[in-house]
Amino acid sequence: MTTQELHQRLRARFGEEVGPLSEPKVDAFCLVKAERIVEVCRFAKQELGIDFLEDLTALDWPKRNVIEVVYHLFSFGERHGIVLKVEADRAAPRVPSVESVWKTAVWFEREVYDLFGVEFTGHPDLRRILMPDDWVGHPLRKDYQEAGGYHGIGNQRENPLVELRRLDLKARAAAAPPPAPPAPAAPPTAAPAPTEKP
């Protein structure tokens, strides 16, 4: 099925709970009401053969006060897929967990929770996965400000290109052949003896 056909099947089953399909820039997507996302995903898996949660990530839109949770779904058997999005209130983002549909969502949802602050209700083990437990804030939000380090470990780093240039110059100097020794000076030549005139 094409993305349009998959979308039509979802709309036929869920009506206005599934929004219109976007104009395809890279991947066309449709918005799903947060409270129906688990049901929509279960239908996609059981009725449309979508057996793979390819990715689950998020986008931060501060001006709209929205965090979008993005689901990339794919079927290995049918070779088709669709992208779903759920919009959550940025001030207190909550979306139901889809781990009951795809177990791999456990890891994806923990990452989105850690980096964007989205709470996935019903998740069996919602805790940070990349940042330490006592980390303040969510680093992939667009208004995130670094706090100047963590437990005495600074976060100011030299531009990596400067260090790479320094290493490159050092390697070139080590690989350069040694300079050739100076050539010995030629012995002075004797002046020819004067010839006698007859």
Residue 97 included in any domain: yes
Q: How far is CA 126 from CA 106, 118, 121, 122, 192, in A?
A: 8, 10, 9, 9, 101
- Residue range 17-70, pLDDT digits in tens: 898 888 877 788 999 999 999 999 999 999 999 999 999 999 999 999 999 999
Q: Which domain holds residue 115?
A: 3-134
In this structure, are residues 37 and 98 in contact, taking their beta carbons and an 8 Å threshold?
yes
Reference 138, options 112, 102, 99, 162; nearest CA is: 112
* pLDDT (average), residues 72-88: 94
pTM of the entire predicted model: 0.75
pLDDT tier at 193, thresholds 50, 70, 90: low
Give dist(CA 56, CA 113) in Å, integer: 11
Neighbours of 51 (CB within 10 A): 15
Residue 156 included in any domain: no
Pairing verdict, β 66-75 and 29-32: unpaired
Would you give the DSSP letter of residue 31? E
Q: What percent of the chain has pLDDT over 90?
A: 59
Residue 192 has a pLDDT of 66
CB burial of residue 22 (10 Å; 0-12, 13-18, 19+): middle
Residue 87 included in any domain: yes
Residue 40 has a pLDDT of 96
* pLDDT above 70 for 110: yes
Where residue 27 sits, what CATH number does that domain have?
A: 3.30.460.80
Our count of domains for the chain comes to 1
